[in-house]
Chain A
Amino acid sequence: MKPVTRIKSRTVVLPTKDIDTDQIIPARFLTTTSRDGLGKNAFYDLRYNEDGSEKSSFILNQAAAIGCAVLVAGNNFGSGSSREHAPWALLDYGLKAIISTGIADIFRNNSLKNGLLPVVVDKNTHEWLLENPGAELDINVETATVELPDGKSITFPIDGFARHCLVEGVDQLGYLRQKIDRIEQFEEARAWKP
């Protein structure tokens, strides 16, 4: 994973609550055996009509969304299935951070393992962000802060290990493999074996 230390971008706003992973990437696109090139399928049924034409009313199809790497979404973003295709698709689409008041557990874990930053903010900040699409934000992963356009800085919760892995670009499989001796000892010492 490439290190992720700082994200400076305008926001695009999708205020709907409970956007699930089936909306982030519909199941019919999960027959791939690769993790690449899924950006074209991100939010597919929200972006396109059934005849394949673009839905001009959808925010990501509008000029203001071009180049935005930060998505501000309604509460409980990423609920539903464990498909890692969801963060793969969002990253490939060009997003680098998701801001909401709540982000579902498995989606959050999957995002952190791929360098997509989940940012949970308080209700007031969230409301302000929902009302001010296109806000220029400066997100610092090391200090776990979001700097708003007025210079005010707010902190967001992030697990210390997850932050370390993002900032240093740590391969978590490599980290786990360093524990192989401990794992073997554990297997040996167990009173019962699965």
Chain B
Amino acid sequence: MSKSTLFEKVWSEHVVADETPDSPAVLYVDLHIIHEVTTPQAFTVLREQGLPVRRPDLTLPTMDHSTPTTPVSTFKDLAVVGESAANQIRQMEQNCEDFGLDLIGFGHQNRGIVHVIGPELGATQPGKTIVCGDSHSSTHGAFGALAFGIGTTEVGHVLATQCLLQRKPKTLAVNINGPIADGVSAKDVILAVIGKIGVDGGTGHVIEYRGDAISALDMEGRMTICNMSIEAGARAGMIAPDDTTFEYLNGRPRAPQDAAFSAAVTRWKKLRTDDGAAFDRAVSLDASDLQPMVTFGTNPGMVVAINEPVPDGGDDPSFRKALDYMRVEAGKPMTANAVDVVFVGSCTNGRLSDIEEAARVLAGRKVADGVRMLVVPGSQQVKNAAEARGLDKIIVEAGAEWREAGCSMCIGMNGDIVPSGKLSVSTSNRNFEGRQGIGARTVLASPATAAASAVRGRVTDPRTLS
């Protein structure tokens, strides 16, 4: 019997028509998550061609990107920033109504970031193919799903046919072994991986994260890892499902229930790379060496351990341009830099354990004078769970803002922006020029590093706070 990787098992189960040199595979999609920003033009095509949404039952719509996160007592008070964002949100509501989709809209207890609510509801499951018009769809691979971001034309393809035209990607094994030290988190692991393989190191590949360091992570840590696969250029990142996965899904509303759940677990347990199955490429990382990581440049591959000096990049003009934009000095560690804004949230680090990690650092401490800190839950459910634990009080008492769920300051298209020239330590996924606002200088870090940096007012190793 031929030996297969996890990716190949999920891929082959979803091939409706095989690929040939002249035609790509037709790949079936089990779950299509949609949001307000990358779908309006796809619904326009459906209207023009008189087509329905083929499988509303496999379509999960919500709103997260252009939605404001300003704290409100009732969602009727939520003021959308700008007429075009307001129009886009109205359009999403109208599209869902016209096409018979059950929108998780404002005021709904399950609303949140697309990649937070899929897992939370149990809609994200091992062995599924999952797509969304958002590159961080790779997040769902943490459950052993094949999940990737698509463009708006492809959103239209899935809405109309539940299928995509795809060429089979290559496979890349990323083996991570060794114990992860205290003060080092999943975010530091994935930043180190991207630093090692580069921002285009995964192009054309699906990554499988393997090794005992990965098995030891909880589901939220695994989601943080898979989330940033796209930052290494990979279409998707996957982790084989195990007892941690099954325990997370058990009892979630859209997961199989009771006997169906047991049957699903039996099926899910087969979703592992066979011993001896071949990957196209493989890289390894020793987790026991890892330190908290921070980015210093304008892409997530420009990353360094928090106490190590920023490299000088030789005479590479793109590297110099990045350091100039960041106003960061080569030869000094990032801890030399003062901080203006701190953001804890996003589909990378906006889950309950991330809020807890930040709150542990903030407890009994104050955000430094002159620093603005936003803590933004990834979903309404994360918000409720954090408040039930009293985390909101710790956050507010420390002088940080506790806000409504959404993408917030990760993307700067909803009113939450970093002012020009200001330095932000952010738990999000992209430190691109202007990502958090025109001229914003973004340093990517873990929630603990972000919170410690808020307390000290400069980029700070969380292990140095007693």
Contacts and interface: CB of A to CB of B under 8 A. Distances in A.
B165 A82 contact: no
A173 B135 contact: no
Contacts of A192: 264, 267
Interface stretch (B18-26, B70-78, B100-108, B327-335): B18-26
A120 B435 CA distance: 26
A183 B84 contact: no
Contact of A114 (B22, B23, B153, B432): B153
Interface in A89-128: 102, 104-106, 109-110, 113-114
Contact of B438 (A20, A45, A194): A45
Contacts of A74: 318
Contacts, number: 178
Contact of A173 (B41, B58, B157, B413): B157
A186 B153 contact: no
Interface in B1-38: 16-17, 21-24, 26, 28, 30-31, 37-38
Contacts of A106: 135, 149-151, 230, 235
B22 A164 contact: yes
A161 B40 CA distance: 27
Contacts of B204: 105
Nearest to B132: A82
Contact of B199 (A18, A50, A164): A18
A11 B156 CA distance: 33
B412 A82 contact: no
A77 to B, nearest CB: 10
A40 interface: no
A194 B30 contact: yes
Contact of A176 (B44, B82, B165, B438): B165
A177 interface: yes
A9 interface: no
A84 B38 contact: yes
Interface stretch (A23-31, A54-62, A142-150): A23-31
Q: How large is the interface on B (under 10, 10 to 19, 20 to 34, 35 or more residues)?
A: 35 or more
A2 interface: no
Interface size of A as a range: 35 or more
Nearest to B42: A84
B22 A161 contact: yes
Instruction: From B87, B432, B433, B435, name the one whose CB has the most chain A CB atoms within 10 angstroms.
Output: B432
Given A18-B299, A27-B412, A82 B151 contact: yes
A176 B157 contact: yes
Contacts of A132: none
B438 A22 contact: no
A152 interface: no
Interface of A: 15-18, 20, 22-23, 26-28, 30-35, 45, 50, 74-76, 79-84, 102, 104-106, 109-110, 113-114, 159-161, 164, 172-173, 175-177, 179-180, 182-183, 186-187, 192, 194
Given A30-B65, A31-B66, 17 more contacts: A15-B317, A17-B318, A18-B298, A23-B433, A27-B412, A50-B439, A82-B134, A82-B137, A104-B233, A106-B135, A109-B151, A161-B23, A173-B49, A173-B157, A175-B165, A179-B16, A186-B28
Query: What 6 A-B pairs are tightest by C-beta distance, nearest first?
Result: A194-B30, A33-B40, A110-B151, A84-B151, A82-B149, A31-B84
24 contacts: A27-B411, A30-B37, A30-B38, A30-B65, A31-B85, A33-B88, A34-B40, A76-B199, A76-B200, A80-B432, A82-B149, A84-B133, A84-B152, A102-B203, A104-B233, A106-B135, A113-B153, A161-B22, A161-B24, A161-B165, A176-B157, A177-B161, A179-B16, A183-B162
